[in-house]
Structure 1
């Protein structure tokens, strides 16, 4: 109202402000901060508002932050739950995607993926051999000891599930004392089957499931198949919290639609290797000092060692396609502060709602929020969101777009109406003069 035509934005997180506090000399900061995000609802994500334990510290390394957070998180989960709390492990991002098909792995599930592309590269099973020839991969999930106990329907259901999440199909081999059972075995040589046995350390009763496609697709689908197998076979221990740090996230990635380099995650993270890495390495090989805490398949927190040097920040944004002028326009306040001298600093922000969800053993985060929005981001009790009346809109100088019209069409219509009003006003002035 005070600044017509201008708008405030609710903060997604206090990211820039807490970094400015570090520059100002506050070397330790924390608060329970409200965050606002226009995101779709999920089991572990409520649309609108959530809270996080926001932390930032100066003159720290990644290991310093890990040491502090492990103590805090372990204490909270030990104090407020009777479940066993296991020590944190560290898993590089690429390893997590390779082994578990997810950067949020549920480590209670013992199943992992392995690469068997070499076994099928020259195989008589042409469907897989052709995928490898075209640059794809074949990955397998070994499930120990279930072979003799599962009916044919179990395998049919798993294939149907894989197809429902995007797979063209899924193969399997049941290993028994008598030999191998599978529709694909007749296309494979004894040598290839022996290689599979050695690669996966196969014992009688074990089963291997196979997916073949582009690597990104196999990783995504394989992660979901792994989770489904864990649930169907009751492999997941409900009485333990298994934590891990996911580390070494890629700084950049390739946008498949535009074929351009973009930031993978947080653009304000310090690249590992600093300016030298940005100037000499392939952007897709550069890692960031970025990390997540994951517990039982739920991402509890993200954080990073921050990029506190303007020269490195400009270079990182340049690689991602942003000119210096754009960076100054969007992040000028922080850049200017960094030019005056900023200490090395880093932070993290565990989600309070998700922590409570795990402690309460609730599968849906809305069950631990006092007044949650529904799946459509509505507060039905307060009838929100609702239309604003004309008086409020006029005070704020806001004209809502009609949902069924495209922006350009609405703009043209409003512009034409404004011209008519102007012309009518001019005509009235001319009439008054005459």
Structure 2
């Protein structure tokens, strides 16, 4: 609509001053940014103090019996390559010995075994051979000429050396897969992908250098897991996504959700009376590392396991909020509502992904239960399955609550761009703006 003549030509009118002021930074933005940055700094200081107080003592622990050699030390492995396989009577006197000539023939014609001639490719007996003998039953390795394997080397008190099969050599295949993964990530995500890979290295370093030794020393699992998780989040989020208000919103949302996941995990373990002793690895830990709490170890696993999915959701929500805030004509309420629509879709897709991932990890166990003619209630309430259900429930609740939490933090930090109306500049009629 055309403007009429100015009845007071000497007066400077301010008809559009309010619209122009809305185009600048919102008064809430700087204050909210200071609060969030201050909180992250304070949390970082607390995490640093916690890491110092909980830092492992590096004391040596006794090696569990299944991993000891004959002298009580760590098992020594060497590289080997299969030369030939054949069927022969069991009980060859050359089995496991260091051979510089052909194996001695086995006397008799009793039960047949698979005999595998292996070249020793590392260690003090490099260049010699050894003979491995297998009964050929279920669970025995099916070796063929050319296979690369690892051999366990044992030296008895008399100085005699013997070799046994340890495992397949998987170094090169795994290195190839890791290289392909890195190349694809960097090719698609460029520098951000490279920084994400560095974050992965940092995360594993935190687990190996801090988390595992601290748990081995018998430290309380909850503070150790929370400190390790917080360090990983600070490194991974800022390395992969840069330092900005957007990533700070995601980090604060993730840290808060992580604390919530820890409380939920503790409650689930206590209420459901989960001990963790239904898992073979936990039984071995209980038998050989008596100072480690199995329940604490289970709780730490719950907390660490929720990191990835929480990080994924919170970063996406923060990015969505800041992108919507860039649209002219958006208010904070409009940005929050729009981002929550995206978040609901993300929750729906991620929750069943989370549940199916845990179900996939428990698939062998479910298969055994399916042939045991046990009732569905007994199967679902058995501890092995209950642990996976509890993991899924804790992860799902923390995931669902992280969406409005992170969206709210990001909506407070993001400054919406409201359209500027002035002479000759018609306002944009954005549907989102009308709804606000």
Q: What TM-score, normalized by structure 1, do the two folds share?
A: 0.26
Q: What TM-score, normalized by structure 2, do the two folds share?
A: 0.26
Q: Which structure would you say has the larger RCO, counting Cα contacts within 8 Å and 6 or more residues apart?
A: 1
Q: Which has the higher strand share?
A: 1
Q: Which has the higher helix share?
A: 2
State the structure with more CA Rg. 2
